[in-house]
């Protein structure tokens, strides 16, 4: 094993676990028989961690995120979010969800888009305005609150959708390939910004990605998954410091972790198409 990388063979049973999954499985019944989207997933995520889920299509990384969000219900196992079942956690506003597409309402201005969850959750108008102003500043879109989504670039739209997920102060940020549709340059920039945001807010972030460099650059923990059935093949605790300039990606440590991720994917037959 490469030096400096801690191996995590067993599931940590932390008392401060924000996400705690034990034997979580999800089987979809389809016309072609059952599909095992998730099988026996054990995972514990502590407060303030940045966890990336990486793996090929069909490995269940998005499904796991959706289970945490109570958008899907596991067919077996126990899943706890902030010590609650996912449904209760959602009602307690435990998480904000960022989808692959920004999904801003075209008929609302950026500010009104960010206010959408606040309206639905019944925040008073004055507090809505204050919160919108605060998160707009957080994602550096102060000047764009009055613009409509089509007037913003794709990267800016995705930043607005992150602001929307942050507006109601959830502790957990669930991000499902949020930068998958953006070009490499914009993506690098947003990766830096997400790291900075994570540093400032101390949120727990679950981040689904296809990209090895993105996963290694961002995470304190990398969960490598493989398909058929969707399962975890490796969990890597990153030794990289929390402060990460972009050029850390040329360091030996970085390349070693990336190598181990690739090995994990290979072991899970991820490269066999």
Partner 1 sequence: MNGAVSRVLPVLAVLGAIVVLWYAGSVALNARLTLVTAERQGVELTLAQVVADTMVQDRPRLPAPHQVAVALWDGIVGEPPLSKRSLVYHGLMTLQSTATGFLMGVLVGILLAVGVVYSRVMDLSVMPWAVISQTIPIVALAPMIVVLSNSLGLGEAVGVENRLVSKTLIAAYLSFFPVLVGMVTGLRSPDAMQTDLLRTYSATGAQAFWTLRLPASVPYLFASLKVAVAAALVGAIVGELPTGAVEGLGARMLVASQFGQPLLMWASLFASAILAGGLILAVGGIERVALRRMGARE
Any contact of residue 181 with partner 1 (CB under 8 A)?
Answer: no
Among 55, 56, 74, 96, the residue binding partner 1 under the rule CB under 8 A is 96
Number of other CB atoms surrounding residue 52 within 10 Å = 27
Measured from the CB atom, the residue of 12 and 147 that comes closer to partner 1 is 147
The CA distances from residue 123 to 95, 112, 120, 131, 201, in Å, are 17, 13, 8, 10, 21
Query: Per CB under 8 A, which region of 3-11, 145-153, 227-235, 250-258 contacts partner 1?
Result: 145-153
Cis peptide before 48 (omega within 30 of 0): no
Measured from the CB atom, the residue of 204 and 226 that comes closer to partner 1 is 204
Question: Do the beta carbons of residue 216 and residue 261 sit within 8 Å?
Answer: yes
Q: Which own/partner contact pairs does 262-267 have at CB distance under 8 Å and 24+ positions apart? A: 262/212, 263/234, 264/224, 264/233, 264/234, 264/236, 265/54, 265/55, 265/56, 265/212, 265/224, 265/226, 265/233, 267/226, 267/233, 267/234
Among 4, 83, 84, 105, the residue binding partner 1 under the rule CB under 8 A is 105
- Per-residue contact string for residues 46-75; x = within reach of partner 1 by CB under 8 A: -----------------------xxx----
Measured from the CB atom, the residue of 4 and 103 that comes closer to partner 1 is 103
Any contact of residue 91 with partner 1 (CB under 8 A)?
Answer: yes
Distance between CA 194 and CA 42 in Å, rounded? Answer: 26
Among 50, 95, 179, 198, the residue binding partner 1 under the rule CB under 8 A is 95
What token pair was written down for 27? 């089987």
Q: How far is the CB of 33 from partner 1 (least distance, A)?
A: 24
Any contact of residue 39 with partner 1 (CB under 8 A)?
Answer: no
Sites of contact with partner 1 (CB under 8 A): 69-71, 90-91, 95-97, 99-101, 103, 105-109, 116-117, 119-121, 148-150
């Amino acid at each position: 094993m490469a030096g400096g990388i801690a191996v995590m063979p067993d599931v940590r049973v932390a008392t401060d676990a924000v996400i705690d999954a034990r034997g979580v499985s999800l089987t979809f019944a389809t016309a072609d028989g059952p599909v095992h989207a998730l099988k026996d997933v054990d995972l514990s995520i502590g407060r303030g961690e940045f966890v990336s889920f990486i793996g090929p299509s069909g490995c269940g990384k998005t499904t796991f995120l959706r289970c945490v969000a109570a958008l899907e219900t596991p067919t077996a196992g126990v899943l706890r979010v902030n010590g609650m079942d996912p449904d209760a956690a959602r009602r307690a506003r435990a998480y904000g969800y960022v989808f692959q597409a920004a999904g801003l309402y075209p008929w609302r201005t950026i500010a009104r888009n960010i206010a959408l969850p606040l309206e639905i959750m019944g925040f008073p108008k004055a507090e809505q305005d204050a919160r919108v102003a605060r998160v707009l500043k957080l994602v550096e879109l102060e000047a764009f609150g009055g613009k409509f989504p089509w007037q913003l670039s794709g990267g800016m739209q995705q930043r607005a959708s992150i602001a929307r997920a942050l507006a109601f102060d959830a502790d957990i940020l669930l991000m499902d390939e949020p930068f998958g549709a953006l070009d490499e340059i914009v993506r690098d920039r947003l990766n830096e910004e997400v790291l900075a945001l994570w540093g400032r807010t101390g949120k727990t972030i679950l981040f689904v990605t296809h990209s090895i460099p993105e996963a290694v650059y961002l995470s304190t923990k990398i969960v490598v998954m493989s398909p058929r059935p969707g399962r975890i093949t490796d969990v890597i605790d990153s030794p990289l410091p929390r402060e990460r300039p972009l050029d850390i990606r040329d360091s030996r440590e970085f390349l070693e972790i990336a190598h181990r991720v690739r090995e994990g994917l290979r072991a899970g037959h991820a490269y066999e198409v």
